[in-house]
Amino acid sequence: ARERPPRRVTVLGATGSIGENTLDLIGRDPARYRIVALTGGENVERLAELAIHHKAELAVIADETRYEALRERLEGTGIEAAAGRRAVIEAASRPADWTMAAIVGVAGLEPTHAALKQGATVAVANKECLVCAGPVFMAEVRRHGATLLPVDSEHSAAMQILSQSPDVEIDKLCLTASGGPFRCSTRQEMASVTPEQALKHPNWSMGRKITLDSATLMNKALEMLEAQHLFDLPPDRIDAVIHPQSIVHCLVYYRDGSVLAHMSPPDMRTPIAYTLAWPERMQVPMPPLDLPKLATLTFEAPDEDRFPALRLARHALQTGGSAGAVLNAANEVAAEAFFAGAIGFIAITEIVERVLSESPELVDRAPGRIEEVIAIDEEARRRTREYLPAFA
């Protein structure tokens, strides 16, 4: 067989949970890949280690003040060092065949957008991009002929199911949610939980923001909005169900009564591998799913009184416009405030609800460009910060 040239790959958010898992897979078959660029937020030490280990051409740290530290650490390695927000965007613009977009939050918007503009394959873990700028991103994908592959396990599952019969209308797409650490807690119990308790996820090991989002169920809210844009679905066809074992990731209902479900172990390397090998499949070193050992898979209806995030998601799906961007911005600010000890756990969704309901003129905007999305995001953040003291 003819040897394929190595694939040129870039990992945005290389030092995070998704970034590390991605590099773990790539590192198992190094001859197949050439690393163009790795980027990180603040952790110079880890970024440099990864860049050296994977022989990257370029390493970029987002925090400008850490440029000297990175440059010193990479001295004599031949790896280019850069720092700052613009440098991250430039790294994303360097020609690559495949890019992993795994920066967390709205900070990933411009770099992910820059990667898409190359018209190559972009694996998008950074769901906030689609939540805030879904229509803009999907239009850019079409314009540049890019291939956008979702990394979220539920959306990877959905894509695999929907690709079976792409032109058939579906009745419902149902994402599963583990329910997080407070699945069985009362509102009163949730009122006093600490960040440490919120960061104990039952099934997945992930970055801290998505772990908190999984506890409030805001992660599922974001994912419902993500699904709307990725699969171009009407709001009433998107649903969520609680499934504490995280084995089934998505279910698609058809009008003949068929329901197709996707299963895999709760390990992000499976959906990451799907984006790396697409349209083929690759070997991932993990034990096969042992259903008899698991014995029971259970499903529960979500309780929207205890977890208002799902109600907010439904509202944002129906509203359209910038509801997703406003919801996401308020959630990012509220999440940081919770980690900082400034507000309690249930205040997170309360604040998001307040900002959404009191910003109709912001929510009504339908941005056509990424710059407008960023302006809306900034305004929503400013408002959320104003509301914080009232919820302290």
Q: Which is nearer to ligand NAD, 218 or 365 (CB)?
A: 218
Within positions 195 to 214, which residues make up the interface with ligand NAD, using CB under 6 A?
Answer: 204, 206-207, 210
Q: Residue 36 in 3-state DSSP? A: strand
The contacts of residue 111 (CB under 8 Å, 6+ apart) are 12, 39, 88, 89, 91, 92, 101, 103
Eight-class DSSP state of 38? E
* Minimum separation from the CB atom of position 181 to ligand NAD (A): 15
Chosen residue from 81, 100, 103, 218 binding ligand NAD by CB under 6 A: 103
Give every CB contact of residue 32 below 8 A, 6+ residues apart in sequence. Answer: 4, 6, 7
Rank residues 88 and 136 by Cβ distance to ligand NAD and give the closer one. Answer: 88
Query: What would the x/- binding string for ligand NAD be over residues 19 to 38, using CB under 6 A?
Result: x-------------------
- State in angstroms the smallest separation of the CB of 123 from ligand NAD: 10
Options 128, 140, 332, 379; binder of ligand NAD; rule CB under 6 A: 128
Residue 17, marked binder: yes
| Of the candidates 373, 322, 364, 328, the residue with the CA atom closest to the CA atom of residue 349 | 328
Query: Residue 219, annotated ligand binder?
Result: yes
Binding track, positions 46-65, relative to ligand NAD; x by CB under 6 A: ----------------x---
Least distance in Å: CB of 21 to ligand NAD?
8
Residue 185 marked in a binding site: no
Instruction: Look up tokens 């941005």; give the residue.
Output: 367
In the stretch 146-175, what mask flags binding to ligand NAD with x, by CB under 6 A? -----xx-----------------------
Tokens 């309690």 correspond to what residue? 344
Shortest distance in whole angstroms from residue 128 CB to ligand NAD: 6
Annotation-wise, does 127 bind a ligand?
A: yes
Cα–Cα distance, 252 to 241 (Å, whole number): 12
User: Which one of the spans 97-105, 112-120, 320-328, 374-382 is the region binding ligand NAD (CB under 6 A)?
Assistant: 97-105
- How far apart are alpha carbons 50 and 191 in whole angstroms? 40
Assess 128 for contact with Mg ion (CB under 5 A).
Answer: no
How far CA 308 is from CA of 134, 173, 261, in Å, comes to: 23, 20, 26
**How far apart are the C-alpha atoms of 268 and 250, rounded to whole Å?**
15
Q: Is 173 helix (H, G, I), strand (E, B) or coil?
A: strand
123/347 with CB nearer ligand NAD: 123
367 lies in the binding site for ligand NAD (CB under 6 A): no
State yes or no: cis peptide before 279, omega within 30 of 0: yes
Phi, psi (5° rounding) for residue 89? -65, -40
Binding residues for NADPH: 15-18, 41, 43, 126, 128, 207
